[in-house]
Chain A
């Protein structure tokens, strides 16, 4: 395997990419010309396949070259098929500010072949039904990891079959025993689950299974990156190309080793072009459940959540968890959403007056800041309560209300200016402004400068509907 074969993310220029495009400026990709499309490609904002003409036979070489040129440092692996498929890996950079992270960490929940049918169905349902709405996205869990704790091929086969019949999620099949894995694969021959795992002892049998069933496979070499690399090299030479790496997830005294291993692997792939380590990383926070018999369940779940969070920050592409407890998973899935947000997106939204529903001259006037997260949170609270209102978005240079007040980005002067400029005074008869609870200390000054009466609203926008209900109606 060659070292440093590819151009780093920073070195690739749109011109290099443009040269390989059809250069007809046909606009089929949705951009005005091939150069504009090339610029988007370099930023990984579109995929090569959006240029349909390029997929024609005559461009097959150019297509292949482009694919290679734009290939991520960490290979993108598909688990499952059809609408049951997920993509993992596909990372170009180590730090999100260098570009952006793609393919958010997949979270898999475990099921064993010794659980009762009811328990299995219950865990599937809880995993599938898990969802939380946050800033315009529905956050969910992604996969199921079926473990053979019985080590019995028949039992595993039956369980895998049952799980597969009852879920829309892709699977990870977990056993170090090739016979058990084979039985599992026989139950779902075309489903392309992720196999867990190749070790130094079973690699040949499992490699054969991966080839026969065309499955991605995890390479497990706990705390031994040299062995991990050797196994990867062996598998690649054997013809198995879709690999996932598990360098071992250790908690407690092994935590430092775990984070170091994940970091070294990702750095080798992204900064040193080490193709043997250029595969997605799999973490198993559920290892905290080993030797945890004497502990309260909440403690173990708590630790599992901590470990999952750290591994998500330190490059894990798949995580296998045991708990399906909302209080512990919620911070994890919101963290995932945060770090996989495209950092190239603006922090701020356009300031100005927003209209919600069909407000009239008696409708409430509120204000918030133009920090994107603040704005979207407030907007969604107003929208979901179906309130007719005017919302004045004040330019605080993209800071939230509390930090805006503290950092003098949100001042009474700014509020007065924006209020004036918005023309809302011609839209309503009243002169009452609802201000965020966290800006309450500005209320006196705002009243002085605007002549409007200030109503101090709730500190959290989830209370706006109630506030309007109780206070606004009474005011009128």
Chain B
């Protein structure tokens, strides 16, 4: 992400945007070249002969209808043999944890928001990213968190109280041996601070180093036994057996991360099944940014979800998306020429569009960053959960006459 920040262009739209959003109850072109020969051929079957073409006489149809010919419509409802398993995150006092609430994701028996078939059992939720040290952040994000970077507890509090996060992800990146190489003990302390500061379920993220993450996750899992954190994430190059065992022993859930390949996802899940019940596993199939591979992520997730519904048990897990990756797209943060500005709006909208696309592919848990993006996705999820029959269409035709 952008390390050297451009000076502000003087626009502080985003805070206002949040405020406004909060007030509301909801809140390629392929080449168009066509050779003329082809065009004529395509049009012919449709009764046209040449252009310009104004028919003087109407075609002599047998008997033209004089009133509306009724047709029936049966909603194309299908039933699916499969069901996505439900995963519960967080544990309250009576369950062996200290969280103020728990969150259940998954459980779908129909494709995402096909509410003409089945209601969506659990709303998708949002976990807001918190980092345990200073990281390069895009300006549009930084302006909202600048007072809390470097203080994960304060950042987590802001995420829950101001951004309305359902969960918080504490990314323990300072443990990276190639960076600060913080000890597992220090990592535990950070998690402790965050767990004290907020009472939502937590996602605990590592640094990406397989050996170090294993060490850190083990320490965290043990210290916070019974809290049912989501350990993010277990990858194929880690000691899966070891990780699965301590996650199971201490009562947490696991995020199984694989690069965009469903076979690898199945393989990792199979390994985990040896030690963990299905209900402890969430999948991360990799999120690429809008414009930089989102199509692969979308299609992978869509395929995984459809396969799950068709009975593929190895993919029948709730899906998580590292939607913050949207900011890896240069169009999300780069200063472009004036017609594409302000980037303070373009950036969070990039995160929103990335999330919406994947919401419609079946994602259950979003890891996000920008408060306006979080707010928008929460509102839209709420609207989609409301189900069918709420739409008012009587005045819809008036859009044609709408004046500005």
**Chain A residues in contact with chain B, CB under 8 A?**
47, 49, 55, 67, 76, 78, 81-83, 85-87, 95-97, 102-104, 112, 114, 132, 134-135, 137-140, 142, 147-149, 151, 174-176, 189-192, 196-197, 199-200, 203-204, 208, 211-214, 220, 222-226, 228-234, 237-239, 241-242, 248-260, 263-264, 267-268, 271-272, 274, 276, 284, 286-287, 289-290, 295-296, 298-299, 302-303, 305-306, 309-310, 313-314, 322, 326-328, 330-341, 343, 347, 371, 373-374, 377, 397, 399-400, 402-403, 405-409, 441, 444, 459-460, 462
Contact = CB atoms under 8 A, between A and B. Distances in A.
A190 B51 contact: yes
Nearest to A409: B259
Interface string B310-338: 00000000000000000010110010100
B57 to A, nearest CB: 10
Contacts of B70: 230, 233
A322 to B, nearest CB: 8
Contact of A263 (B28, B72, B114, B349): B114
The 7 A-B residue pairs with the shortest CB-CB distance in the complex, in nearest-first order: A190-B52, A254-B391, A337-B28, A257-B391, A222-B393, A223-B393, A327-B346
B73 A248 contact: no
B9 interface: no
Interface string B10-41: 00010011001100111111101110111101
Contacts of A290: 395, 398-399, 402
Contacts of B303: 95, 97
Interface stretch (B93-101, B150-158, B220-228, B378-386): B378-386
Interface stretch (B188-196, B275-283, B294-302): B294-302
Nearest to B387: A256
Interface of B: 1-3, 13, 16-17, 20-21, 24-30, 32-34, 36-39, 41-43, 45-48, 51-55, 58-59, 61, 64-73, 75-76, 113-116, 136, 176, 178-179, 208, 210, 235, 237, 257-260, 286, 288, 290-296, 298-299, 302-303, 306, 328, 330-331, 334, 336, 339-343, 345-346, 349-350, 352-353, 356-357, 360, 376, 380, 383-404
Task: Say whether chain B's binding surface is mostly helix, strand, loop, or mixed.
Answer: loop
Given A267-B76, A313-B360, A238 B65 contact: yes
B392 A250 contact: yes
A322 B235 CA distance: 45
Contacts of B293: 371, 373, 400
27 contacts: A82-B51, A137-B29, A139-B28, A147-B400, A189-B52, A222-B393, A222-B396, A229-B71, A239-B61, A241-B47, A249-B396, A250-B392, A250-B393, A254-B391, A254-B392, A276-B71, A299-B21, A302-B352, A305-B349, A322-B404, A327-B342, A327-B349, A334-B290, A373-B288, A373-B292, A377-B292, A460-B334
